[in-house]
Structure 1
Amino acid sequence: MDVATQKLRNFVVVAEELNFSRAAARLFVTQQALSKQLRDLEDAVGVRLLERTTRSMALTPAGAAFLASVRESLAALDAGVAAALSASRGLSGTVRLGFVTGGALELTAPILAEFAARCPDVQLDLHETGFEDPSAGLAGGSSDVGFVRLPLALPDLDALPLFREPLVVALPAGHRLAGRARLAAEDVIDEPLAIGRTADAVWRRSWTLDERRGGRPPRVVRTTTSHTEEMQVVAAGLACAITVAGAQRYTPHPGVRYVPLTGVPASTLAVAWRRGHRSAAVDRFVAAAREVRDREGAIVAAIEAPFGDEAARTGRTS
């Protein structure tokens, strides 16, 4: 049986209204044309679908059974058409989101929720990368988009900054500097450091305060693969580490004292992608991140100024 979907849709409207006049008005057709289409459908199916008199109309048992199946079939067809359109626009399938420790901090959840609302048919595949890959999978192609800390040694990287976060020094609780309210780069550049184990020299130099060393190499005594491992090294009294202020909220440790670091550039957290590899779904993700960043000004302000205005100002110094 080959029945046009429009005849099926018209049958559903007639079954809902049980009145040709009202059904015809909803469908913007004449009653005569609608009546003929219904007769043609009954002929094609081979059974009477509606009992009609001059005063009333009702579904036959066959019509009621047919109506349920028609509704299900039309819903499946409409879903298939929508899926095809989404796929053609790149708005279905999977987006691989990589992120470094902490992701986008308190902006992470609202960004993911905003993207889900914009692209309900796109599945987000989230994976965290350690210090060995500060590009969050973008360098090797295992991510389509990522939350990263700039700068990185990726010449074809495009990024949308979300916030700039002040730095802190993570010190062993018993360290001679642990009681200080603030530290400057000059206070810590000669201290033994724990630093992430990575081949990205640009990223590595930024976390060893290379620009403040006057050519002196850092005293790297431990290389680590994750922030958690790094804090364990610090708590054991083996080294200190340069990290972001959010570590105080996300990874507090009784053996670690976080002291604000002033007079150095803040850490830029960005949503990033590889140039030439930005799909329609990645476009939507970036747009969602921009919308949340601009809407959630109070969250951004709290991230950027966790120690008050003075620390925020010094943290922004370039």
Structure 2
Amino acid sequence: MESIPDINTRVLRYFVTLAQAGTYTRAAEVLHVATPSLSQQISKLEHDLGVRLIERDHRGARLTEAGAEFLPLALDLLSVHDQAVGVVRRHRRAAQQRIRIGFFATVAGPRTHEILDKLRKTLPGINIELVQVGWGEQITAVLDGRVDVVFARPPLDTQHVRVFPVFTEKRVLVMSANHRLAAKPELTTSDLADVVQVDTDNVPEDWRRWWSVDPRPDGSPVTYGPLVHGVEEMLEVVATSDTVAITAESLITAFPRQDIVYRPIIDIDPTQIVLVTPTEERLTIRALIHATR
């Protein structure tokens, strides 16, 4: 009887990243490994499974029929693995009266101090750790236990988590103080017809499009410019060029600068800050949820 091979989760991540990146070079950059090493690991995976998963040609790396069938199952395996690790990480921190709170820009906006003070009052002696996560890590950081919870900004895939609203605010256009639109006190999407906006490649596509208002209400596409991967990088780009970005109003007080201005966009939906938590119950997490109310 043929034995079932043991597959290392690291190699599974290599395969998934390669499938998503489309080329060995791009996947190796994402994984921070050498391209020959990645190729060797994929070949070993194929040898262990006894089937070719990837075809390599002049267009890059594409999935074979077997690879296309294997990919969604590999994603499921990694998801379950990460969630299992996340559960025990959160258990350990809760037992130590610690809570690790993820955020990527302004935590809970103007409600941050209020919420954290309530949490400390409810659980005296609790150790609160604030950890910055990337735009595209708002859900995965909770699921794999890097953080216990995260203050995040929708749209989000909430299939395996719980979400609690915290704060609603306007979306604004941030730009250089010398930009032609800086003279206007408020903007509409029609004002954005000819602007170039920052782009990013490390977030879900629906999140990227919602924050970019792409397409515009009239159906027109957005013109994208430089890639950015975080708030500070975004602000540096808009401060030193004609490129603009759509962001949240609370950045005005969190990142005040003389060389940039923020203007409200009055004909688009506002944004929310939400608290994302795992599905299991923890005393520390329950106390934080209560503090947001």
Q: Could you say whether these structures have the same fold, taking a TM-score greater than 0.5 normalized by the shorter chain as the test?
A: yes
Q: What does the per-residue CA deviation read over 1:160-210, in whole Å, with 9 as the maximum and x for residues that have no partner?
A: 111110011112222221111211112215421113442322221211112
Query: What is aligned with 1:125?
Result: 129
The answer as to whether partners of 1:145 and 1:282 remain within 8 angstroms in 2 is: yes
1:183-262 equivalent positions in 2, closer than 5 A: 183-210=187-214, 212-262=216-266
The answer as to whether partners of 1:184 and 1:261 remain within 8 angstroms in 2 is: yes
1:124-163 equivalent positions in 2, closer than 5 A: 124-135=128-139, 137-163=141-167
User: In structure 2, what is the Cα distance between the partners aligned to 1:140 and 1:191?
Assistant: 38
User: In structure 2, what is the Cα distance between the partners aligned to 1:185 and 1:140?
Assistant: 38
1:81-120 equivalent positions in 2, closer than 5 A: 92-120=96-124
Change (3 A) 1:170 1:106: same
Change (3 A) 1:254 1:132: same
Query: What is aligned with 1:281?
Result: 284
User: In structure 2, what is the Cα distance between the partners aligned to 1:188 and 1:179?
Assistant: 14
1:45-60 equivalent positions in 2, closer than 5 A: none
Larger radius of gyration: 1
Change (3 A) 1:140 1:244: same
Deviation at 1:238, TM superposition (A): 4.2
The answer as to whether partners of 1:91 and 1:281 remain within 8 angstroms in 2 is: no
Q: Which runs of 5+ in 1 are unaligned?
A: 1-86, 291-318
Q: Tell whether 2:168 aligns with 1:164.
A: yes
User: In structure 1, what is the Cα distance between the partners aligned to 2:140 and 2:115?
Assistant: 17
Query: What is aligned with 1:182?
Result: 186
Q: Which runs of 5+ in 2 are unaligned?
A: 1-90
Change (3 A) 1:153 1:231: same
Superposition CA RMSD, Å: 2.2
Taking structure 2 as the reference length, what is the TM-score of the superposition? 0.62
Taking structure 1 as the reference length, what is the TM-score of the superposition? 0.58
Deviation at 1:211, TM superposition (A): 5.2
Percent of aligned pairs sharing the same letter: 24
